[in-house]
């Protein structure tokens, strides 16, 4: 019985201390008139605007920031997303390059490679166009002579035309790749020069 009484007394003491601690807590907030106010309670309409929790000696225990508006939440999430993308880009660029000169050299090498591929494709294209023109001239001559165009002749003409179209598409694609190479290396250079990825946080205006 004595042990139970001691446990009950300890429990009661703990509850009493907790209640006293809670009772000694104050809230500092901006009231509806725009003035700072300190009270044991805080109106419900002021909670979302942020407040400070103080102890009995008016020392700050906790600062509760105001709640963000839906628009501010969207802005914060966008900023966090941009920061994550920036950090990922920095990690990739720093792993690839040690200096700005490395980026410039990599761009020049990539552009030279694409230029050579375009030059070779253009040479092949010129040759194919000559072949295609010769095949069509031969087909026209046969037609004028009253000779039937064989499937072989027609097939050669169609094949040459298809190869020409493929090379024209390849050249156009390589030109797009050159522009993309310039753009990507410009981005890499900008990322390399950027010292940090922090973006301006959503401002907490005074209420």
Give the pLDDT of the chain (207 residues) as one tens digit per residue. 544 544 444 454 444 444 444 556 899 999 999 999 999 999 999 999 999 999 989 899 999 999 998 999 999 999 999 999 999 999 999 999 999 999 999 999 999 999 999 999 999 999 999 999 999 998 999 888 888 888 888 999 999 999 999 999 999 999 999 999 999 999 999 999 988 876 554 444 443
Q: 102 lies in a domain?
A: yes
Among candidate residues 35, 64, 93, the one where a domain is terminated: 64
Statement to judge: residues 77 and 177 lie in one domain: yes
Statement to judge: residues 60 and 141 lie in one domain: no
If you ran DSSP here, which 8-state letter would residue 55 be given? -
Q: 201 lies in a domain?
A: no
Statement to judge: residues 125 and 165 lie in one domain: yes
Is 0.75 surpassed by the pTM of this model?
A: no
Geometric angle at alpha carbon 63, from 59 and 17, rounded to 5°: 55
pLDDT digits 0-9 by tens, 105-153: 999 999 999 999 999 999 999 999 999 999 999 899 988 888 888 888 8
Residue 103's Cβ-count burial label (10 Å; 0-12, 13-18, 19+) is: buried
Region at 148 (left for phi over 0; alpha for psi -120 to 50; beta for the rest): beta
Task: Give the torsion through C-alpha atoms of 3, 8, 12, 18, to 10 deg.
Answer: 80
Among candidate residues 64, 82, 113, the one where a domain is terminated: 64
Statement to judge: residues 92 and 169 lie in one domain: yes
Q: 143 lies in a domain?
A: yes
Among candidate residues 48, 64, 80, the one where a domain is terminated: 64
Statement to judge: residues 90 and 53 lie in one domain: no
User: Domain limits at 98?
Assistant: 72-193
Statement to judge: residues 43 and 94 lie in one domain: no
Q: 198 lies in a domain?
A: no
CA distance 188 to 94: 9
Q: What pLDDT, on the 0 to 100 scale, is given for residue 100? A: 95
Domains identified in the chain, total number: 2
Q: 172 lies in a domain?
A: yes
Q: Which helix (H) or strand (E) holds 28?
A: strand 26-30
Instruction: List phi, psi (to 5°) of 116.
Output: -65, -40
Q: What pLDDT, on the 0 to 100 scale, is given for residue 149? A: 82
Kindly report the average pLDDT of the chain as a whole number.
Answer: 86
Q: 207 lies in a domain?
A: no
Distances (CA, A) of 187 to 139, 177, 182: 53, 15, 9
Statement to judge: residues 138 and 97 lie in one domain: yes
- In terms of Cα–Cα distance, which of 126, 156, 125 is closest to 138? 156
Statement to judge: residues 60 and 112 lie in one domain: no
């Amino acid at each position: 019985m004595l042990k139970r009484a001691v446990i009950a007394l300890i429990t009661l003491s703990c509850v009493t201390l907790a209640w006293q601690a809670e009772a000694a807590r104050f809230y500092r907030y901006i009231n509806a008139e725009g003035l700072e106010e300190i009270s044991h309670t805080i109106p419900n309409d002021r909670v979302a605007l942020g407040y400070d929790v103080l102890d009995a000696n008016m020392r700050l225990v906790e600062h509760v920031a105001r709640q963000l508006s839906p628009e501010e939440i969207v802005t914060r999430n966008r900023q966090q997303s941009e920061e994550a993308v920036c950090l990922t880009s920095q990690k990739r660029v720093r792993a690839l390059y040690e200096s700005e000169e490395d980026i410039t050299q990599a761009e020049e090498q990539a552009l030279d490679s694409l230029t050579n591929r375009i030059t070779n494709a253009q040479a092949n294209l010129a040759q194919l166009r000559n072949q295609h023109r010769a095949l069509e001239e031969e087909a026209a001559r046969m037609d004028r002579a009253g000779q039937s165009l064989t499937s072989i002749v027609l097939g050669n003409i169609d094949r040459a035309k298809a190869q020409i179209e493929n090379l024209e598409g390849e050249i156009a694609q390589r030109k797009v790749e050159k522009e993309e190479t310039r753009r990507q290396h410009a981005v890499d250079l900008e990322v390399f020069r950027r010292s940090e990825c922090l973006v301006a946080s959503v401002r907490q205006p005074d209420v």
